[in-house]
Structure 1
């Protein structure tokens, strides 16, 4: 996440200054951007859409017992992170900017919620990528290990770790907005998780090539695993595209004494918009690539007509291997 040093690039004397560092977003330069109507409006409208659709994903998984599968618990965790990002972090940043409540409790809540959601998302995607490799390379062992209790424990641990890191970063990194802390933050919160994800997918696709033509499971099992893998891949790609520009902008700015202060706030605004768009787009990826999300969304939005078409498929699935297939479905 973005950080910019105040010392190298002084802000307008009339603008409250905030020194940010490490993994924290650029409040200094958001405040230097005049809060005209279009600025917060675009962000808040997108955030409202993201809140609504992520709340729908959370409702579907919580309400429908068949949706509480092992991979869907991780999807639920991502949806909660996106919901908090859209509902808490995004409105708070503009509340802080517009009210100029810099240094107050609103800023503290914003920083922690923003960073915690970002860390939870990247950790959850990293865990899902490893889980996808295990599901392809060792489907039987993965099925034995894929208990809902284990998924809940892992996701709770991700939140505890993310909140602890965000608070520690806020306390210890905020006062040191220099290149080294920023680079370390970039490596820990983006590069290393992305490297783990890349290795997991490299091994996954290597396993798929080696097992091509081998009977590693029923046709339904294979189709379900492939569908989950495609969805996780799409969500990972969307996350990288949405968050990488801010990291690049931050590193370029903090390593240069010739950065354009006038253009930077607009670049920061655009990067933050990309992050909101990422939270908005994830529910659509679940619906398009998930096996059941589309059915339940149409059922909720359009009425009960789609349920009848879904029930026969569920009945066939329930009879296979005592419901083990359910642990892999979306």
Structure 2
């Protein structure tokens, strides 16, 4: 089995990544410096963009829901919680961006807290998206049935259950995460990682189970929705089909490659150096794509949701109108009492 550098092992071993290589390394056998440099430059830059877009987009969604929409609506309750999930997930990204550059510099309390919050946002986001899909399926395929799902208390109860499940599956990250001191040829660095290899592997398999389960549920629901929509003569058919295809495609294309790479790293025991490098590059790139999901939902609302677009335009118009009014007042010439003719 080809060895890898200690430094890269430590750098890559952080939440949602997997490391199953032996700890007896020889830097002369397999030099992964290029992979380290790639991750340390691209990851912080990309995460900075994702953080900015996610904060702006999801906070805007919360503002629009609070200002213009009925929060007793089931759909709005789920959208509200999905936006909160994305913000919770985003909370961990600045720490991981810094982690790729300087190692872990925030202490053991934040190590456990950030890991726990990060995984909570990860799982709750997937669960809310899946539940929203299931209720859309019920509304379209069985429109006349009373599922009790339109009551606000039902939405609050389901949301609380999802958050409790998310907290529960994220607890191992809280318990088994710790700050580790790894020594390499250039000194030492501190890293926030799982201190138990078995739990690290369990975490990786758990992610894949959640992904496959969610995708199977979403796939079934949307196939049934498409069948129902195509049988109807609704003039909204084209828009509905586009929305459904976009949601499923982005969900699958974003998370599938990431989970495939993790599975390969879990199952592959005897890699060559070149194979290790390919998997390392693949994990770095696929992680960036997958983690960008937290800033994509507001984009769907803006481009597909007519009401959201109208509310957004209303907010922007008010902001620009207020700004123009303030500028006009500032630029207005002072009125000086006339002392006679201008000529």
TM-score tier by shorter-chain length is: 0.7 to 0.9
Does the 8 Å contact 1:18/1:27 carry over to 2? no
Partner of 1:12: 5
1:65 maps to 2:54: no
Q: Is the 8 A contact 1:81 1:121 kept in 2?
A: yes
- CA deviations 1:26-48 (Å, max 9, x no partner) are 58999972364444122212221
What is the CA-CA distance between 1:188 and the residue it aligns to? 2.2
Deviations 1:110-138 (A, max 9, x none): 32223222211221121112101110122
CA deviations on 1:29-70 (whole Å, 9 max, x unpaired) are 999723644441222122212211111111111222346632
Q: How many residues align?
A: 288
- Is it true that 1:240 corresponds to 2:234 in the alignment? no
The Cα shift of 1:9 comes to 7.0
Q: In the alignment, what sits opposite 2:145?
A: 141
The corresponding residue for 2:219 is 198
Label 1:119 to 1:53 Cα distance change in 2 as closer, same or farther (>3 A).
Answer: same
Structure 1 position 97, deviation (Å): 3.5
Pick 1 or 2: higher relative contact order, CA cutoff 8 A, min separation 6. Answer: 1
1:180 & 1:25 partners in 2: Cα distance?
Answer: 10
- CA separation of 1:197/1:172 partners in 2, compared to 1, >3 Å: closer, same or farther? farther
1:36–1:248 Cα change, 3 Å = closer
What residue ranges of structure 2 are gaps of 5+ in the alignment?
22-31, 178-193, 322-343
Instruction: Give the conservation status (yes or no) of the 8 Å contact 2:258–2:283.
Output: yes
**CA distance, structure 1, for counterparts of residue 176 and residue 49 of structure 2:** 34
Pairing partner for 1:24 from 13, 16, 35: 16
5+ residue gaps, structure 1, are: 1-7, 214-218, 307-330
Aligned equivalents of 1:187, 1:41: Cα separation in 2: 27
Aligned partner of 1:297 in structure 2 is 312
Distance in 2, Cα, partners of 1:149 & 1:232: 27
Map 1:73-152 to 2 at 5 A. Answer: 73-86=77-90, 88-101=91-104, 104-142=108-146, 145-152=149-156
User: 8 Å contact 1:135–1:142 — kept in the other structure?
Assistant: no
What SS does the aligned partner of 2:277 have?
A: coil
TM-score by length of 2: 0.70
Higher gyration radius (CA): 2
Aligned position for 1:288 = 303
**In the alignment, is residue 48 of structure 1 matched against residue 69 of structure 2?**
no
CA contact (8 A) 1:115 1:166 kept: yes
What is the CA RMSD across the aligned residues, in angstroms? 3.8
Q: Which TM-score applies when normalising by structure 1?
A: 0.72
CA distance in 2, matches of 1:39, 1:193: 27
Question: What's the offset of the Cα at 1:158?
Answer: 0.8
Q: Which residue does 2:265 correspond to in 1?
A: 253
Which stretch shows the higher mean deviation, 42-51 or 253-262?
253-262
2-structure distance, mates of 1:243, 1:261: 21
Distance 1:140 1:9, change over 3 A: farther
Structure 1 contact 44–91 (Cα < 8 Å) conserved: yes
Name the residue aligned to 1:3. none
1:295 deviates by: 0.6
Say which SS state the counterpart of residue 197 (structure 1) adopts: helix
Moved more, 183-192 or 76-85: 183-192
Aligned pairs for 1:140-179 (under 5 A) are 140-142=144-146, 145-168=149-172, 171=175, 174=194, 175-177=196-198
> Deviations along 1:89-111, whole A, 9 cap, x unmatched?
11111233434228823332332
